[in-house]
Amino acid sequence: MANSKLTEKWISWSPYIQSLLRIFAAFMFMQAGSAKLFGFPASSLPNGGTVPLLSQMGIGGVLEVFGGLFLLFGLYTRPVAFILSGEMAVAYFQFHAPASFWPVINQGIPAILYCFVWLYFSAAGAGPWSLDAFRKKQK
């Protein structure tokens, strides 16, 4: 019986853990974009520097930084997450998959994981710790 109470308590935390996953995933995702755009915390280019803003990598960096910021705060989570899921699918199939079928070989594991994490949030929403939830309460 004590085990079922523990299970119920753990399940009750599910929405909050959903919010934590969104916050931490968005924070890490933003770092990929800031590395491309600002060379911070480290450059993503082999010789350092930043990518051209109007290049495909630059547009990806903008999506990652600003889309990640929206997801960090849980604002317009569903549409933003859907767009970022698509960005990661394109990144995987364009840049990683041609190198090898296996993601561990083609270095595409982060792209695949982000693709499906953002796809999940596009369906599930931001969770209770978000501006989306705050805006919903205000209506």
Mean pLDDT split into 10-residue runs, the chain, 139 residues: 85 97 98 96 88 95 98 98 98 97 97 98 98 93
Report the alpha-carbon distance of residue 58 to residue 46 in Å, rounded. Answer: 16
What's residue 125's pLDDT? 98
pTM for this one?
0.93
Residue 85 identity (one-letter amino acid): S
CA atoms of 53 and 55, how far apart (whole Å) = 6
Q: In Å, how far from its chain's centre is CA 36?
A: 16
Q: What integer pLDDT is reported at residue 116 of this predicted model? A: 98
Residue 1, pLDDT score: 56
- Can you give the pLDDT at residue 48? 87
Identify the pLDDT of residue 35.
Answer: 96
CB 65 within 8 A of CB 71: no
Q: Rounded to an integer, what distance in angstroms lies between the CA atom of residue 68 and that of residue 64?
A: 5
Which residue do the tokens 């930084």 mark?
Answer: 65
Rounded CA separation 1/92 (Å):
47
The vertex-19 CA angle with 87 and 67, nearest 5°, equals 30
Instruction: Give the pLDDT of residue 19.
Output: 98
Which residue in the block uniquely carries the two structure tokens 């010789």?
Answer: 47
The rounded distance, in Å, linking the Cα atoms of 90 and 14 is 30
